[in-house]
Amino acid sequence: MIFSVSARTVYRQKLRAVALVAAVIFLFMQPGCAQGTDGASDNIPVGAEVSACTAYELWKADPDGVTILDVRTRAEYALVGHPPMAHNIPLAFWTSRFDSGRGDYRMEQNPDFLAHVKNRIDATDRVLVLCRSGQRSGFAVSLLQRDGFERVHNISDGFEGRIIADPDGLITGNPSKDGWKQSGAPWTYELDPALVYER
């Protein structure tokens, strides 16, 4: 059997390969926390968001006064990874009900979220809140602020980073633009019994 491949097909394949290599090189050349910070400071305005790099630098400078709070589900925390110092208190839990409009399973808010946070974290601490991409953590920050936490900030790029939106790109739809996991800050799959969520 003889296969005939047109020059145009070969050209497209080579172009895709070059684009993929360029994308990988671009992602690895992005400055990470190990190469410098983006302005970590103790003088962050109330309600301001911080990047994953800034959050890590703030924690390194004051590990006793800065708490990293991971509000993702227990499965995300355990299976996707997490910062090794992050307390896991889920803001919401996955349900078994599929939402065809969203194309995802529904989530139900954790009714004990605030009680668990208050039980583990001092309201005077600086609390840096993390989720997958910064959306759930933004909502959690609002809840905590309403409940008296004054030095609480959203980690805007989350653990996995924001989704790449390039319809012509090879990696579009992947959450790999930034985030804790891509920043150079430490992360792990190991579970510390003192940091995991238990009902």
**β strands within 92-151, DSSP E:** 92-99, 104-109, 126-130
Decide if 85 is inside a domain: yes
d(CA 58, CA 127): 10
Is the predicted pLDDT of residue 95 greater than 70, yes or no? yes
d(CA 120, CA 105): 29
Task: Please tell me the predicted confidence (pLDDT) of residue 23.
Answer: 45
With 0-12 / 13-18 / 19 or more C-beta atoms within 10 angstroms meaning exposed / middle / buried, residue 172 is exposed
Decide if 189 is inside a domain: no
Decide if 105 is inside a domain: yes
* Residue bearing the bigger pLDDT, 171 or 90: 90
**The domain containing residue 61 runs over which residues?**
7-183
CATH code (residue 110): 3.40.250.10
d(CA 82, CA 55): 13
User: For residue 165, what are the contacts with CB-CB under 8 A and spacing of at least 6?
Assistant: 172, 173
pLDDT per position as a tens digit, 123-142: 999 999 999 988 999 999 99
pLDDT per position as a tens digit, 29-47: 444 565 444 445 567 887 7
d(CA 56, CA 54): 5
The chain-wide mean pLDDT, for the chain, equals 83
d(CA 99, CA 101): 5
With 0-12 / 13-18 / 19 or more C-beta atoms within 10 angstroms meaning exposed / middle / buried, residue 199 is exposed
Query: Of 5, 3, 26, 2, which Cα lies nearest the Cα of 14?
Result: 5
| Structural domains counted in the chain | 1
Highest mean pLDDT among 24-33, 93-102, 180-189 belongs to: 180-189
Decide if 193 is inside a domain: no
